[in-house]
């Protein structure tokens, strides 16, 4: 067990006082509404604060209550989430809202356990909502807090290992000050965002530097300890802007249980060994939609990185040849015009294809649409 220095109240006072004086004025800090706090915590996962603010305000304006969110079609939720990424967050948000309405009468569970039982809510989010909205003495532990604790207590163990994570959760629980969990947790989040950053932490400006064992031992740049990541795999992917004789083109909706589930895309897929990009595209369209196409010119190359892999997406114009589209390996499909696309939610790569089509104008637009 990691030992905590006494008196720990001095540590609590130092961080909370600093936070109260220096906290950024963020919209979710102006409320104790559990719905608004929950929304912000979900949006802030894997996403920068500056990016989240506009999405958060638009989302609350459209869905001001958990009931409004629960009643909305998933397509509309995904469209409003478009560009924020990690779309499973939006699907789980929608499902959780429906559970809250159906099983809790529209009221958020006021306990860590009750929050933890909702779709898409893990230990961190349950602790954040419980402490910030309900004043419950619950800990939080995310990447920022792990980094702070690993430096504060100069922990030499690999923080990606299960045993170390369990020890960190235990430490986080023991550190929570009674009746002050909210400002303590927010202080940790703010400290990790602006002071105790992953590289070149601002130790001279840190309000708890006097308690930091890594700073004392000059090991802050070596904490937290993490195993080296494996090389990120890369895949070649082909996508087709498939035009029909009437000028409409084909889009497909990804299955709900797949990556980017529920979003729409220009159909295609990953190239297999030994395939050309054109062969890949013809095969994928046949397997996914049951139609034959003629692959034309390549009109764009898009590079994009996901959490665990990278892709190079090659975009081709295509001509529809024969067959009635079927939802074989997709959730749905539609023949659309360029103007129709405003009604559909697309991932970032396909938004770039749309931008390519819009920017083409003139000859490119006439050729494709």
Domain boundaries defined on the chain = 8-222, 234-368
> Average pLDDT, stretch 210-237?
95
- Tokens matching residue 245: 């004789």
Q: What is the pLDDT of residues 12-34, one digit of tens each?
A: 999 999 999 999 999 999 999 99
pLDDT of residue 7 exceeding 90: no
Length of the chain: 369
pLDDT of residue 366 exceeding 50: no
> Average pLDDT, stretch 24-50?
96
pLDDT grade for 329, boundaries at 50, 70 and 90? very high
> Residue 3: what pLDDT?
85
CA distances from 108 to 124, 132, 295 (A): 16, 13, 52
pLDDT of residue 362 exceeding 60: no
Please provide the CATH number assigned to the domain covering 234-368: 3.90.79.10
pLDDT of residue 361 exceeding 70: no
pLDDT of residue 259 exceeding 70: yes
Q: Report the chain's mean pLDDT, rounded to a whole number.
A: 95
Q: What is the pLDDT of residues 91-117, one digit of tens each?
A: 999 999 999 999 999 999 999 999 999
CATH H superfamily, domain 8-222:
Hypothetical protein; domain 2 (1.10.340.30)
- Which contacts (CB < 8 Å, 24+ apart) does range 153-162 have? 153/2, 153/213, 153/214, 154/212, 154/213, 154/214, 154/216, 154/217, 154/219, 154/223, 155/2, 155/223, 155/224, 155/225, 156/225, 157/225, 158/225, 158/226, 158/227, 159/224, 159/225, 159/226, 160/226, 160/227
Query: Which has the closest alpha carbon to 314: 337, 284, 341?
Result: 284
Q: Which of 6, 20, 41, 287 is catalytic?
A: 41
pLDDT grade for 360, boundaries at 50, 70 and 90? confident
Listing DSSP states for 8-33 in one string gives HHHHHHHHHHHHHHH----GGGG---
pLDDT grade for 365, boundaries at 50, 70 and 90? very low
pLDDT of residue 195 exceeding 60: yes
369 vs 294, higher pLDDT: 294
Same fold, 8-222 and 234-368: no
pLDDT above 70 as % of the chain: 98
> Residue 15: what pLDDT?
98
pTM of the entire structure?
A: 0.90
> Average pLDDT, stretch 294-304?
96
> Average pLDDT, stretch 66-71?
98
- Tokens matching residue 197: 């950053």
Give yes or no: 41 in active site: yes
pLDDT of residue 224 exceeding 90: yes
pLDDT grade for 219, boundaries at 50, 70 and 90? very high
pLDDT above 90 as % of the chain: 93
């Amino acid at each position: 067990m990691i030992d905590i220095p006494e008196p720990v109240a001095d540590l609590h006072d130092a961080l909370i006082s600093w936070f109260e004086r220096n906290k950024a004025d963020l919209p979710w800090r102006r409320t104790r509404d559990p719905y608004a706090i929950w929304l912000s915590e979900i949006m802030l996962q894997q996403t920068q604060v500056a990016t989240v603010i506009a999405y958060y305000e638009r989302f609350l304006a459209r869905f001001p209550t958990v009931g409004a969110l629960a009643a909305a079609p998933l397509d509309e939720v995904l469209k409003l989430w478009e560009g924020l990424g990690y779309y499973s967050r939006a699907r789980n948000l929608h499902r959780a809202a429906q559970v809250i309405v159906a099983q809790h009468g529209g009221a958020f569970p006021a306990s860590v356990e009750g929050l933890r039982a909702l779709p898409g809510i893990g230990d961190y989010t349950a602790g954040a909502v419980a402490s910030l909205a309900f004043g419950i003495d619950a800990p939080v532990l995310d990447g920022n807090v792990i980094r702070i604790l690993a430096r504060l207590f100069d922990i030499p163990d690999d923080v990606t290992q299960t045993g170390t994570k369990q020890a960190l959760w235990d430490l986080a629980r023991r550190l929570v000050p009674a009746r002050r969990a909210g400002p303590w947790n927010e202080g940790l989040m703010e400290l990790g965002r602006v002071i105790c950053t992953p590289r070149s932490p601002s130790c001279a400006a840190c309000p708890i530097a006097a308690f930091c064992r890594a700073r004392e031992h000059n090991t802050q740049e070596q904490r937290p300890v993490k195993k080296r990541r494996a090389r990120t795999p890369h895949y070649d992917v082909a996508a087709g802007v498939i035009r029909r004789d009437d000028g409409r083109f084909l889009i497909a909706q990804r299955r709900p249980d797949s990556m980017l589930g529920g979003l729409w895309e220009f159909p295609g897929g990953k190239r297999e060994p030994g395939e050309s990009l054109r062969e890949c595209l013809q095969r994928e369209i046949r397997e996914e939609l049951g139609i034959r196409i003629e692959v034309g010119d390549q009109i764009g190359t898009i590079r994009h990185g996901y959490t665990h892999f990278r892709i190079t997406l090659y975009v081709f114009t295509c001509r529809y040849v024969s067959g009635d589209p079927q939802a074989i390996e997709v959730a749905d499909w539609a023949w659309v015009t360029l103007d129709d696309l405003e009604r559909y939610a697309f991932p970032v790569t396909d938004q770039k294809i749309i931008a390519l089509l819009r920017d083409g104008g003139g000859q490119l637009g006439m050729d494709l649409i």
